[in-house]
């Protein structure tokens, strides 16, 4: 047996082992190989064919030998061949915990009922930026009544057109030093019958939530009030125009003093809720700046704020909000709130909602402060 015959036999045995061929299959493979040799017209050609057969069998064997370890892997773990080894992280190089995400703000404002229930959307003490984030179509801040001196004193307003049925009305948001203190719709018409019908429709709509309003005569018109926080006024102007205004009216001492003896006021609700969170401001138009102990101001500052919504005729939602402003990557910053919302009536203060990220933020800040000092 010459060298080529011995090599061919070894290759056949290798293929047999790799493929696990039966003796009959080995015999058939050998006969096909020999048949291809006998068809050659000369010894030199037979030599070429024999070499090609050896090369082909060797190639098949090599492929099968390379692929055979794959068949030994347990199912569902193909990544074991390509995944690099996992090394345990160095504790000294572990980054600070990730910051929690700020809660998403959503608002229902699709139907006419949604738009009329503006007391569920706007809160006394919210900022202009918050209102603008909810309603991008809100106009820019301008001096209250167009009077520059009032603007310099911090009294400003912004307008937004709103469709109520077939009517296009104007929503006015009033701010003092950047904080909301009133949100009202404004409709005017010289048609007395039309404006009176609209007044009756609104009173019937709000009566479903608040009951019948308290009505009294005021200068040049009437006032209907459901609480010191929410009311409606109808007046007649000197030029014959009827003006109908309704919505939130908190933050104006005149209204609170007028109805203090007959209804549960915004300020009284805040004072009761402060028994749970005494460090927060006592008025919705104020903020308190608080230093974060042990953390440089270049990394973070906090501020405390109080906001109020009307829930029912004599029930309020008082929210105490701690705003964390965290600075990173040089001049970039992010603001994340923690908040506690209490349902407040004359006889009860009850926590109904909260979102507290204080501990997670402090863990992040301690890690960032440590990295900054090293």
d(CA 292, CA 289): 10
Judge contact between 307 and 126, C-beta under 8 A. Answer: yes
E strand or H helix at 231: strand 230-236
Q: What pLDDT does residue 25 have?
A: 57
d(CA 213, CA 200): 11
Nearest alpha-carbon partner for 99 in 246, 299, 314 = 299
Beta-bridge partner residues of 336: 324
d(CA 290, CA 300): 10
Q: What pLDDT does residue 13 have?
A: 62
**Residue carrying the six token digits 């099968």:** 64
d(CA 76, CA 32): 39
pLDDT in tens, 73-98: 334 333 333 333 433 334 444 555 67
pLDDT in tens, 243-291: 999 999 875 544 444 444 557 888 899 999 999 999 999 999 899 999 8
**Residue carrying the six token digits 């929690």:** 100
E strand or H helix at 223: strand 221-227
CA pseudo-torsion sign 208, 214, 217, 218: negative
Nearest alpha-carbon partner for 320 in 347, 342, 293, 343 = 342
Judge contact between 314 and 345, C-beta under 8 A. Answer: yes
Q: What pLDDT does residue 31 have?
A: 60
Nearest alpha-carbon partner for 187 in 247, 242, 116, 146 = 242
Nearest alpha-carbon partner for 130 in 361, 337, 356, 318 = 337
Nearest alpha-carbon partner for 174 in 136, 124, 133 = 124
Nearest alpha-carbon partner for 112 in 32, 201, 27 = 201
Region of 145 please: left (phi>0), alpha (psi -120 to 50) or beta. left
Q: What pLDDT does residue 54 have?
A: 47
CA pseudo-torsion sign 185, 129, 123, 120: positive
Burial of 350 (C-beta count, 10 Å sphere; 0-12/13-18/19+): exposed
d(CA 213, CA 138): 30
Q: What pLDDT does residue 29 have?
A: 52
Q: Which residues contact 83 (CB under 8 A, 6 or more apart)?
A: none
Q: What pLDDT does residue 219 have?
A: 83
DSSP designation for 27: H
Burial of 104 (C-beta count, 10 Å sphere; 0-12/13-18/19+): exposed
- What pairing do the DSSP bridges indicate for beta strands 242-248 and 332-345? unpaired
Report H helices in 73-217: 112-116, 128-134, 148-152, 192-210
Please give the radius of gyration of the chain, using alpha carbons only, rounded to the nearest integer.
Answer: 40
Judge contact between 210 and 117, C-beta under 8 A. Answer: no
Residue 358 phi, psi (nearest 5): -55, -50
Neighbours of 228 (CB within 10 A): 24
What does each of the 374 residues of the chain score in pLDDT, given as a tens digit? Answer: 555 556 556 655 655 554 555 566 556 555 655 554 444 444 444 444 444 444 444 444 444 444 443 333 334 333 333 333 433 334 444 555 677 787 777 788 889 999 999 999 999 999 999 999 999 999 999 999 999 999 999 999 999 999 998 888 999 999 999 999 999 999 999 999 999 999 999 999 999 989 999 888 888 899 998 988 899 999 999 999 999 999 998 755 444 444 445 578 888 999 999 999 999 999 998 999 998 988 988 899 999 999 999 999 889 999 999 999 998 877 788 899 999 999 999 999 999 999 999 999 999 898 888 887 76
């Amino acid at each position: 047996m010459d060298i080529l015959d011995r090599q061919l036999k070894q290759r056949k045995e290798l293929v047999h082992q790799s493929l696990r061929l039966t003796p009959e299959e080995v015999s058939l493979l050998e006969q096909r190989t020999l048949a291809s040799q006998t068809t050659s017209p000369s010894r030199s050609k037979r030599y070429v064919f024999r070499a090609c057969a050896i090369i082909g069998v060797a190639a098949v064997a090599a492929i099968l030998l390379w692929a055979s370890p794959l068949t030994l892997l347990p199912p569902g773990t193909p990544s074991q061949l390509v995944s690099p080894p996992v090394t345990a992280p160095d504790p000294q190089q572990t980054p600070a915990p990730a910051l929690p995400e700020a809660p998403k703000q959503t608002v229902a404002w699709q139907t006419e009922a949604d738009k009329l229930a503006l007391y569920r959307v706007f809160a006394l003490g919210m900022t202009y930026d918050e209102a603008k984030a909810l309603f991008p179509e809100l106009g820019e801040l301008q001096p209250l009544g167009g009077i520059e001196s009032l603007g310099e004193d911090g009294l400003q307003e912004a307008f937004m057109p709103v469709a109520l049925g077939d009517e296009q009305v104007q929503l006015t948001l009033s701010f003092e030093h950047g904080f909301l203190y009133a949100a009202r719709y404004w409709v005017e018409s010289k048609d007395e019958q039309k404006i009176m019908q609209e007044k009756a429709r609104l009173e019937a709509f709000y009566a479903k939530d608040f009951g019948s309003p308290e009505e009294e005569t005021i200068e040049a018109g009437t006032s209907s009030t459901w609480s010191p926080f929410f009311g409606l006024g109808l007046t007649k102007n000197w030029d014959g125009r009827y003006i109908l205004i309704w919505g939130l009216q908190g933050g104006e001492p005149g209204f609170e003093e007028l109805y203090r003896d007959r209804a549960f006021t915004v300020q009284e609700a805040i004072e009761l809720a402060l028994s749970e969170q005494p460090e927060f401001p006592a008025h919705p138009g104020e903020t308190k700046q608080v230093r974060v102990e042990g953390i440089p101001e270049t990394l973070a500052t906090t501020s405390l704020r109080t906001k109020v919504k009307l829930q029912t005729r004599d029930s309020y939602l008082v929210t105490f909000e701690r705003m964390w402003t965290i600075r990173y990557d040089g001049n970039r910053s992010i603001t994340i709130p923690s908040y506690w919302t209490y349902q407040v009536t004359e006889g009860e203060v009850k926590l109904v909602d909260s979102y507290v990220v204080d501990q997670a933020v402090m863990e992040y800040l301690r890690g960032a402060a440590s990295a900054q000092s090293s």
